Structure 1
Amino acid sequence: MTTTLPHVGVPAWVWFVVAVVAGSAGGLFLLRDRAVLTSRNRERRRWAALRGWQFAEADPELPKQWAGGAVAYYGDGVARDVVAGTTFTADGRRKVYVFDLEAGGRVNVVIVAVQCRRTHPVVLELWVPSTPFQREHMPELLGPVGQRYAFVSDIGAARALITPDLVDATEDIGQDIAVAWIEAGWVLAAAAPGSSPSRLERLLRGIGEIADVVDPFDIPEVPPAVADKPADQPEPSGKPTD
């Protein structure tokens, strides 16, 4: 004889409560994330206004200028809360960008970029050893540069860039910066999501120093005849003197 256990049904109101709780929890997480993003947006916007820089909510094309460093690791994605302007370095004024790199639906890093006057024929990536920087198509490993590892697209061209001054400038940006790299006429670095404007200001100064090292402004030579001429000497008139 077969004994059948009685069927115990779950009341409909229980499923309703479960659905309400799950929906509420999801809504709270969404509101929390949105509040964080809104706060970051306001902070970045205020910072841009204080510096007299431009601000944009999003720019899907901006990250496509680069293919190395953090952009290669996370994907070009979309630039969010974009700040664009210029800043002074020791060698003069340079164009800068600061933006959140959103890829896969989340902000992974803050990209800071300083423009050079010339384009170097090499991509030079400098990663801290503690970062899981491996990806499917890594540039060639050159070796240690200061406390970082250098990966390059061309070893010969990269060696010409790596000088003691570059090593010193790279050390100054801080070990919390996972990667700094040189690509397509820019020096870039990746900071942690939610980095404060004060940290981003320091990072801008740091990679500005790197830009000054690899891209010094040319100082025009003064012709010897002009340089040796006394300041109060009159110009020749071309007329004979008595």
Structure 2
Amino acid sequence: MGIPAWVWFTVAAVAGVAGFALLATDRAQRTARNRERRRWAALRGWQFEETDHVLPTRWEAGAIAYYGTGLARDVVAGSTFTADGRRQVYVLDHETGGKVNSVLVGVRCRRALSVVIELWLSTVPFQRDDDKKPMPDMLGPVGSRYAFVTDVPAARKIITPDLIDAAEEIGGDVTVVWMENDWVLAAAPPNSSPARLERLLRDVGELADVIDPFDPDPSEREEPVAEEDEGGEVYRPSFGRKQP
């Protein structure tokens, strides 16, 4: 004797209700996060954008290489002061495949590095098989993280004790910190609170100060980043436009 049709109907109905409940919960969480991020941006006098498809294309390493380019949700753009002056910042939910995998925090430097440096927690399965975005060369332990770099000799000059100390302050909830071109970025867990993101911005800013000091020795300077107005503010938000 087969299973009665009403049993299958009941199972389908329960599954449908469960799916709807999960969708409603996810939407409620996204709405709450959107309001929280928008309110935080307003308090700081920063700009807010719900979605940006272009912004993640600025970067290719770290969490972007691991998860994919995706898109940016609940984006905050502004500038903040560090010990070495004002720096441009971004905070965004990095979404791929319809799922937010991390909150990215980025602080911009005044000059670009000639090497990409990724600092991964040892507990994270950081290897990736994408031929277009292969894993950089492994340099070795850097504090509690492992360093992967695109140029080992150049990276050794940059990874100083001060950089290691600054990276250690970032916290064990941040899976990867990476330096790419004129940016220092970190990937925090989804749903990180504004208070946590404030601390992370401060810590990433300190790391930016280490690799991009206000008045470095001229012999140690990296290639300057082109600016439209020399001496002006670093912060120039440009939602939807990829900068060089």
Letter in 2 for 1:71: I
Match of 2:197 in 1: 200
Identity, in percent, stands at 65
Match of 1:24 in 2: 17
Letter in 2 for 1:10: P
Which moved further from structure 2: 19-28 or 193-202? Answer: 19-28
Match of 1:119 in 2: 112
| SS of equivalent to 1:193 | coil
Match of 2:237 in 1: none
Structure scoring higher RCO (CA < 8 A, sep ≥ 6) equals 2
RMSD: 1.5
Task: Describe the shift of the 1:15–1:206 C-alpha distance in structure 2 as closer, same or farther (beyond 3 A).
Answer: same
| SS of equivalent to 1:158 | helix
Task: Describe the shift of the 1:8–1:109 C-alpha distance in structure 2 as closer, same or farther (beyond 3 A).
Answer: closer
Task: Describe the shift of the 1:120–1:26 C-alpha distance in structure 2 as closer, same or farther (beyond 3 A).
Answer: same
Work out which of the residue numbers 82, 90, 96 in structure 2 matches 1:103: 96
Task: Describe the shift of the 1:90–1:8 C-alpha distance in structure 2 as closer, same or farther (beyond 3 A).
Answer: closer
Aligned residue pair count: 213
Work out which of the residue numbers 70, 81, 99 in structure 1 matches 2:63: 70
Task: Describe the shift of the 1:14–1:152 C-alpha distance in structure 2 as closer, same or farther (beyond 3 A).
Answer: same
Task: Describe the shift of the 1:82–1:9 C-alpha distance in structure 2 as closer, same or farther (beyond 3 A).
Answer: closer
Match of 1:170 in 2: 167
Letter in 2 for 1:42: R
- CA drift of 1:24 comes to 1.4
| SS of equivalent to 2:200 | helix
- CA drift of 1:9 comes to 6.8
Deviation by residue 1:49-73 (Cα, 9 ceiling, x = unmatched): 1101000001011011111111110
Give 5+ residue unaligned stretches, structure 2. Answer: 218-244
Runs of 4+ residues deviating >6 angstroms = none
Work out which of the residue numbers 140, 151, 154 in structure 1 matches 2:151: 154
Letter in 1 for 2:34: N
Task: Describe the shift of the 1:8–1:119 C-alpha distance in structure 2 as closer, same or farther (beyond 3 A).
Answer: closer
Q: Aligned equivalents of 1:99 and 1:107: distance in 2?
A: 10
Q: Aligned equivalents of 2:106 and 2:162: distance in 1?
A: 19
Q: Aligned equivalents of 1:49 and 1:9: distance in 2?
A: 58
- CA drift of 1:134 comes to 0.9
When the two structures are superposed, what TM-score results if normalisation uses the length of structure 1? 0.84
Instruction: Confirm whether residue 10 of structure 1 aligns to residue 20 of structure 2.
Output: no
Q: Aligned equivalents of 1:9 and 1:154: distance in 2?
A: 64
Task: Describe the shift of the 1:27–1:184 C-alpha distance in structure 2 as closer, same or farther (beyond 3 A).
Answer: same
When the two structures are superposed, what TM-score results if normalisation uses the length of structure 2? 0.84
- CA drift of 1:19 comes to 3.0
- CA drift of 1:218 comes to 2.5
